[in-house]
Amino acid sequence: MSLTDLKKIPYGKTAIELKNISLAFGGVKALTDVSFEVKKGEVFAIIGPNGAGKSSMLNVINGFYKPTSGTINFAGTDRSEMEPELAAKSGIARTFQNIALFKGMSTLDNLMTGRLLKQKKNFLMQALYFGPVAKEEEEHREKVERVIDFLDLQSIRRTPVGSLPYGLQKRVELGRALAMEPEILLLDEPMAGMNVEEKQDMSRFVLTVNNELKTTIVLIEHDMGVVMDISDRIVVLDYGKKIGSGLPKEIRNNKAVIDAYLGVSDN
């Protein structure tokens, strides 16, 4: 299995293409025949009402769910499913709808876990902790400190994340994903439960990551104002089916999308 290399794809070309993805849990059809593509370097939003299958879609992309049918074309290679470890190794990072941080560890340690895949020294060397291991540790610490700087997390570096307020936890989780230096960042409702200022901060972080680091962003979000403002392209799901896709202004005027959100009257 050759490790697909997202880095080699030029910007604006397809990074991930999902073809006719269906996912069922027993009789429950979470996704039916969904196809879309994510281009490298864009901010791509997945929207839809509750239970539309948005999070399931992200779980399919990073290999946590295995689709019942369909193929995932990942950086030019067709496969029927992803593996979480392969996804992480090829540069896909994600955050979760319900924060999934390591609550007993400090902010710094949480961010350092984002570097685990890139630390190569074996456990005997770690146990002795001599030159090369200490050096490796410092290199990764420096990368993590840059993320801490970027997200303004300096003051909570040593605080166990379990005791942080919700908004900060969301930010630490973004930090952990950024520490992986991902090519593609999957954000599952990064702004849920935030007030306007926090949403603005978060939007700024997302856009900066996209502009400066050229990271491709796949975003699930319920706040339409945010989605319309920051995303380049949007796909809309409803009851596990794709009901629309395109530029924000197309989505805004899409009849099916408006019906899904506002409901249709019978007469």
Partner 1 sequence: MIYKETGQYKSSYKSDHAIFPLLQDKIAFSTLMFVAFLIIPFVINSYWEKAILVPFLIFSLAAIGLNILTGYCGQVSLGTGGFMAVGAFSTYKIMTYFPDMNIMIIILISGLITAAVGIIFGLPSLRIKGFYLAVATLASQFFLVWLFNKVPWFYNYSDTGQITVSERTMFGIPVTGAEAPSYATYLFCLVLVVVLSFAAKNLIRSKMGRSWMAIRDMDIAAEIIGVPPLKTKLSAFAISSFYIGVAGALYFAVFLGAIEVTESFDIMTISFPVLFMIIIGGLGSMLGSFLGAAFVVTLPIGLKFLMVDMVGLSAVTAKHFEITIWGLLMIVFLIVEPHGLARLWSIAKEKLRRWPFPY
List residues near partner 1 by CB under 8 A: 62, 64, 84-85, 87-89, 93-94, 96, 100-105, 109, 112-114, 116-117, 119, 121, 123, 126-129, 133-134, 137-138, 141-142, 145, 176, 180
Give the type of residue at 160.
P
Find residue 38's DSSP bridge partners. 16
Closest to partner 1 by CB, 138 or 229: 138
Cα–Cα distance measured from residue 17 to residue 20, given in angstroms and rounded to the nearest whole number: 10
Closest to partner 1 by CB, 94 or 233: 94
Please report how close the Cβ of residue 205 comes to partner 1 at its closest, in angstroms: 19
Helices and strands, number each (H, E), in the chain: 10, 10
Burial class (CB in 10 A: 0-12, 13-18, 19+), 57: buried
Closest to partner 1 by CB, 87 or 194: 87
Please report how close the Cβ of residue 154 comes to partner 1 at its closest, in angstroms: 13
Nearest 10 degrees: Cα torsion 85, 88, 90, 94: 140
Closest to partner 1 by CB, 128 or 247: 128
Please report how close the Cβ of residue 110 comes to partner 1 at its closest, in angstroms: 9
**Among candidate residues 220, 177, 219, 171, the one with its CA nearest the CA of residue 197:** 171
Cα–Cα distance measured from residue 58 to residue 125, given in angstroms and rounded to the nearest whole number: 37
Please report how close the Cβ of residue 133 comes to partner 1 at its closest, in angstroms: 6
Spell out the alpha helix ranges (H) of 93-247. Answer: 107-113, 123-128, 131-150, 166-179, 196-212, 224-230
Please report how close the Cβ of residue 112 comes to partner 1 at its closest, in angstroms: 6
Closest to partner 1 by CB, 108 or 260: 108
